[in-house]
Amino acid sequence: MIDATEHIGNWNPDIPDWFSWEKGLFYSHHFGTDGVDKKEVEEGSINLPTHFRFINLCLVAYQMTKEEKYIDLSIRFAERWADAILDNCTLLPAALEGRSISYSRKEHQNYFSYVKENPEVGLADNVDRAEDFLASDVPASFLKLWQITGNHKFRISAEIIIDIVATQIEDHDAGCGIDMIRMFRSMTGNYKYDDLILNTIAELEPYSFEEVSFKPFIERKNAGSKISGHTFGIGKRKDKPFWYEEGQNARHNPILLSLAAEIKNDEQLALRALDIGRTYFELGRETFDHGHQHGCGSKTVSAIARGNGRENNSGVVTAVLEPLLDNFEFQPPLTAIP
């Protein structure tokens, strides 16, 4: 981890700078030991929520070493975004460039060449803007910085993003958004989303079906695909399987059921979430290989277990089994599944 973060903050004098401490932004999308993409620097590189992945690394490095340089960089960069979010609470920013905030990316051709977004579509609404932040774990980074610094702008910024994500929890694909609500609940002790979770569950029938199936090898054809790797909405990729209950589109995400079980302290609902999650995992084991495809893709056992590249550690193992083992006195199996 220390090696991975060695160059992020210009800490190695033998490597060209990656980060502008003056502007609080990175110089490029592309980095290496030979420096940054000079063409992007010359054209004026924009910073996106995806750059928070460097901050995620710095926060882990800080947790390991307690070296202030990692927090200093995280604060410098994250404050630029927090200020931009708080500057316009009704529309999330799309990018930062220099000292300005951009709410549209259509003028940034170097951006489109990087992420292959359709410049005629761009970011359709606040849900898609929030998805960009969620996919790079930005709300969690903000909350960690709030805990470390006590600066409430970080918590408020995280909450603004999560408020938008929370509007999508009825979507079966939106498990990563539900898991982010769980993280907010745990890190802040604030249960503001509990009623939303419970009201959503009240509209469902988690014991009404006995058969779960999925269509594993598909390419979603949603109109207006935003980026080559995913479609509009929370937790989606164009290669993400479709799940079914008794042959109908699935409605009961086990992550949603597991969080509702935690809130209600409902062991039977927790067992139902585990049962559905186990079925997802077994179907994945029987169908997919063990990660030899694209690392961010959905067609792997690991994607079922911990989520695809847009879902940030939100799969049936990491966001159903693990938290329920922490919250209920279930006994894990003593022997591995053969």
Greater pLDDT, 36 or 18: 18
| Angle, in degrees to the nearest 10, between helices 152-165 and 68-87 | 60
Angle (nearest 5°) at CA 261 between 299 and 318: 30
Categorize the per-residue pLDDT at 17 as very low, low, confident or very high, splitting at 50, 70 and 90. confident
The pLDDT value recorded for residue 299 is 86
Residue 309's nearest CA partner among 226, 222, 235, 243 is: 235
Categorize the per-residue pLDDT at 111 as very low, low, confident or very high, splitting at 50, 70 and 90. low
The pLDDT value recorded for residue 43 is 57
Residue 98's nearest CA partner among 181, 2, 27, 35 is: 27
Categorize the per-residue pLDDT at 312 as very low, low, confident or very high, splitting at 50, 70 and 90. confident
Categorize the per-residue pLDDT at 223 as very low, low, confident or very high, splitting at 50, 70 and 90. very low
The pLDDT value recorded for residue 222 is 54
Measured CA to CA, the distance from residue 242 to residue 237 in angstroms comes to: 11
- Residue 150 burial (CB < 10 Å; 0-12/13-18/19+)? exposed
Categorize the per-residue pLDDT at 310 as very low, low, confident or very high, splitting at 50, 70 and 90. confident
CA 325 to chain centre: 22
The pLDDT value recorded for residue 41 is 58
- Determine what percent of the chain is predicted with pLDDT higher than 70: 81
In sequence order, the 6+-apart residues with CB closer than 8 A to the CB of 179 are 255, 259, 312, 313, 314, 319
Give the best-scoring range by mean pLDDT among 111-115, 293-297, 307-311.
307-311
The pLDDT value recorded for residue 331 is 58
- CB burial of 226-247 (b: ≥16 within 10 Å; e: otherwise) equals bbebbbbbbbbbbbbbebebee
The label of the residue with tokens 């207006």 reads 224
Please indicate, yes or no, whether the overall pTM of this predicted structure exceeds 0.85.
yes
Joined together, the tokens standing for residue 258 give 């597991």
H or E element, residue 299: none
CB atoms within 10 A of CB 207: 10
**110 within 8 A of 43, measured Cβ to Cβ:** yes
What is the DSSP secondary-structure string of 195-213? HHHHHHHHT--TTS---EE
The pLDDT value recorded for residue 117 is 46
The pLDDT value recorded for residue 27 is 85
The residues spanned by each domain of the chain are 1-168, 176-338
Find residue 243's DSSP bridge partners: 214
Quick: pLDDT tens for 228-280. 445 678 988 888 899 999 999 999 999 999 999 999 999 999 999 999 999 99
> Looking at residue 214, what DSSP letter applies?
E
How far is the CA of 249 from the CAs of 52, 172, 259, 266, 318, in angstroms? 34, 9, 21, 25, 23
Indicate if the alpha-carbon torsion angle 86, 53, 312, 232 is positive or negative: positive
Average pLDDT, the chain: 86
pLDDT exceeds cutoff 70 at 179: yes
- Amino acid making up residue 298: S
By mean pLDDT, which of 89-103, 209-223, 300-314 is the weakest? 209-223
